[in-house]
Amino acid sequence: MEILAFGVTADEKPLLERAFAGHHEVRCLDVFLSEDTAPIAAGYEIVSSSVNADLGARVLNALSAGGTKMIAQRSTGFNNIDLDVARRLGMTVGRVSYYSPHSVAEFAWTLALAVNRKVVRAAIRTRDFDFRLNGLMGRDFHGRTAGILGTGKIGEAFARIAHGFGMGLLGWDVARNPACLELGMTYVDKEELLARSDLISLHVPLLESTHHLIDAAALKAMRDDAILVNSSRGGLIDTAALVDELRAGRFTGIGLDVYEAEAGVFFLDKSLEAVEDDTLARLVTFPHVVVTSHQAYYTADAVGQIIDTTVRNVADYLAGRRSENTLVPSA
């Protein structure tokens, strides 16, 4: 059987081909699955999608009409998939429920350190042979407080690194993680965490209840010199409200690996096009803001695990099995 994979990067392609070798053929496309590209999948029973694919009702109906019966999403998040429509169409939808939490946690810390120590600005200066230190002063994380919103596997990994820095730990979650408690974490309500934390990192899924978890009120509750990092989902932050606070001169630094309107922008080369998103265009102009293109998961270890799980999801579908990765079983 030949499987069609959308949104495959150049780094990912050989890993996918090697993982499926001896089992199935895989056709890799660098374009993302959308209403415009869905017709390419006609005749393919199994389609693999990336995190920024559009799997709304119109795309799912187009895929189903073309004969697609199984979607293997190569990500943990699935807020881009209309599961009710997939269920009505009798499609099977699988995802990757687990991959290396260290990949995301370590990158979140990369962003935190970069904005704290002004690494991007310093690197740009030295390339121009400007070796002055003015404006590059950071501060020690040791002895300060890290607030972690979401203390699952990734939040726990982030907490362990914070503990290694000698930071105090505050946590917020629907359930307490025993491993985080052992590290000395104190669980508090969101408002107290925002008010007391020097560094705030987001590690919760994007659900209806967490959309704009960091809204205008939450931003105002944060300390003026706080650092905010988001390596989870862009929709957790009200970006327009964030820009308003940045324009008011607040916060030591903001590190964002995700953006709420990133679909159709991230993972693509837009360097020769006019920027249509005024909020994003304004956001990247602030010198203490670092924006990266949803790459926190992008390590050989994590991508390898994602692909291995995708291969298993396809095998489970063909064998009629369900697993913890099955979001929607076929009828």
Q: What is the DSSP letter of 237?
A: B
**Closest alpha carbon to 27 in 43, 16, 11, 15:** 16
Catalytic residue among 74, 95, 250, 294: 294
35 is known as an active-site residue: no
208 is known as an active-site residue: no
Please count the other Cβ atoms lying within 10 Å of the Cβ belonging to residue 150.
Answer: 23
Please report how the helices 300-319 and 12-20 are oriented relative to each other, as an axis angle in degrees rounded to 10. Answer: 40
Type of residue found at 314:
V
Catalytic residue among 74, 203, 233, 288: 233
Report the alpha-carbon distance of residue 203 to residue 158 in Å, rounded: 9
102 is known as an active-site residue: no
Q: Which residues contact 248 (CB under 8 A, 6 or more apart)?
A: none
* Helix or strand run (H / E) with residue 255: strand 253-256
Q: How far is CA 216 from the centre of its chain?
A: 22
Catalytic residue among 12, 156, 245, 262: 262
Exposed/middle/buried for residue 5 (C-beta within 10 Å: 0-12, 13-18, 19+): buried
Type of residue found at 1:
M
Active site residues: 233, 262, 294
